[in-house]
Amino acid sequence: MSDFILMTDSSCDLPDALAKEMQLEVLPLTVYIGDDSYKNYLDGREIAFKDFYTRLRANSNVKTSAVNQSQFIELLDPLLQQGKDVLYLGFSSGLSGTYSAGASACEELAAKYPERKVFAVDTLCASMGQGLMVWHCWKQKQAGKTIEEVRDFAEENKLHLCHWFTVDDLMFLKRGGRVSAATAIVGSMLSIKPVMHVDDEGHLIKVSTARGRKASIRALVDEMEKTAIDVKSQHVFISHGDCQEDVDYLSGLLRDRLGVQEITSSYVGPVIGAHSGPGTLALFFMGTVR
């Protein structure tokens, strides 16, 4: 197997056991609840995911802030000192400044350690879409590809990583400026649910609406049916904002309608969940276009 490190940040929302299996280095991002701060570790060691969503539903004051370059350097420098090469696969620059900080750290350390290979890729992905891109890169690494080949694979395939989302409560998108106050109020009154995706620039974009929760979940499957590549052989990822019953419903539709066999699901972590809210449901797969 190629001897280099795959690194990402905790907005990948991967299950902790899978991240450990992949031997990832994961930089934890930070969420603030009231006067307290919590690092978003994938194992939930500082704040359990269910507890986070309980506090969101109780209208706690939840915020996030940008990570800084020094935090990346603190994690990366010891790896390079040990003689390891590193490929960082970062959270979409269209949604966060995280990738910019990581890329700057990689550039600084590449100059400090000219004998090492230190690369950064803006995945233009978020949540388990980012996680799925990291997983595909890990599979490439397992197949013996070099760090340059895996970097190139990520660049060539990131715009085929499809993200389809819906949310249960428009008020959280309103707080983040994703929808207007009027849209949020009227949508909530009429049980109108947005169907969104992440576009080619890594931005979260509303594509359509559905009347009712089940209809919005079926719309995610409709979108996958339109563009998915080799749908029956794909490993599909689902992330959720503490709504396991909806994950089960979506998984059933994917298996029954499309013949999907491999599905991995996990929580939307606190950093993204602070903006998307409880009841977020997201589907990730490889497609012909985003």
> DSSP string of 181-225?
HHHHHHHHHHTEEEEEEE-TTS-EEEEEEEESHHHHHHHHHHHHH
- In the prediction, which pLDDT does 179 show? 60
Say yes or no: 269 and 169 in one domain: yes
> Same domain, yes or no, for 136 and 247?
no
pLDDT of residue 170: 65
Which of 116, 130, 49, 51 is closest to 77 using CA atoms? Answer: 116
Given 158, 174, 208, the domain boundary residue is: 158
The candidate with the shortest Cα–Cα distance to 228, out of 286, 279, 277, is 286
pLDDT of residue 2: 64
Whole-structure pTM value: 0.94
What was the pLDDT predicted at 192? 80
Q: Are residues 130 and 75 in the same domain?
A: yes
Cα–Cα distance for residue pair 123/141, rounded to 1 Å: 17
174 and 282 fall within a common domain: yes
Residues 105 and 172 both lie in one domain: no
pLDDT of residue 184: 57
Asked if residue 285 has pLDDT above 70, the reply is: yes
The answer to whether residues 136 and 9 belong to one domain is yes
Describe the strand order of the beta sheet including 235-240 as a list of residue ranges: 204-211, 192-198, 161-166, 281-286, 235-240, 262-267
- Domain total for the chain? 2
Q: Give the lowest-confidence range in 69-78, 117-126, 199-208, 260-269.
A: 199-208
Q: Which of 158, 181, 196 marks a domain boundary?
A: 158
Evaluate whether 166 touches 276 at the Cβ level (below 8 Å): no
Residues contacting residue 248 through CB under 8 Å, at least 6 positions apart: none
CATH of the domain at 252: 3.30.1180.10
Tell me what percent of the residues of the chain surpass a pLDDT of 70.
92
The predicted pLDDT at position 3 comes to 85
Considering the domain architecture, whether residues 169 and 278 belong to the same structural domain is answered as yes
Spatial separation of the C-alpha atoms in residues 148 and 35, rounded to whole Å: 43
In whole angstroms, give the CA distance from residue 271 to residue 273.
6
Domain CATH for 107: 3.40.50.10170
Q: In sequence order, which residues have a C-beta less than 8 Å from that of residue 20 and are 6 or more positions away? A: none
Q: What average pLDDT does the structure give for the chain? A: 93
Whether 147 shows a pLDDT value over 80: the answer reads yes
Query: Do 135 and 148 reside in the same domain of the chain?
Result: yes
pLDDT value at position 169? 73
Assess whether 48 and 145 both reside in one domain. yes
Helices (H), the chain: 16-21, 49-57, 69-81, 98-112, 127-142, 147-157, 170-175, 181-190, 213-227, 244-258, 270-276
What is the per-residue pLDDT across 82-91, written as a single tens digit (0 to 9) for each? 999 999 999 9
Would you state the pLDDT for residue 204?
Answer: 87
- The verdict on 85 and 220 lying in the same domain is no
pLDDT at 152 over 70: yes
Cα 152 from chain centroid (whole Å)? 20
- Per the listing, tokens 């980012």 go with 130
Backbone angles phi, psi at 180, to 5 degrees: -75, 165
Average pLDDT over residues 121-133: 98
Band the pLDDT of 136: cuts 50, 70, 90. Answer: very high
pLDDT at 122 over 90: yes
Section 7-36 average pLDDT: 97
Query: How far apart, in whole angstroms, are the C-alpha atoms of residue 283 and residue 215?
Result: 15
**Long-range contacts of 138-141, Cβ-Cβ distance < 8 Å, separation of 24 or more:** 138/6, 138/22, 138/24, 141/1, 141/2, 141/4, 141/6
Condensed to tens digits (0 to 9), the pLDDT of residues 170-214 reads: 666 666 555 666 565 555 656 788 899 999 999 988 888 899 999
Query: What is the model's pLDDT at position 63?
Result: 92
Three-state secondary structure call for residue 259: coil
Residues 35 and 142 in one domain: yes
Q: Which of 131, 158, 185 is the last residue of a domain?
A: 158
Domain that holds residue 38: 4-158
> Mapping DSSP to helix (H, G, I), strand (E, B) and coil, where does residue 239 land?
strand
- The percentage of residues in the chain with a pLDDT greater than 90, rounded to a whole number, is 86
| pLDDT tens digit sequence for 30-62 | 999 999 999 999 999 999 999 999 999 998 999
Banded pLDDT at 100 (limits 50, 70, 90): very high
d(CA 129, CA 120): 17
**Do 43 and 149 lie in a common domain?**
yes
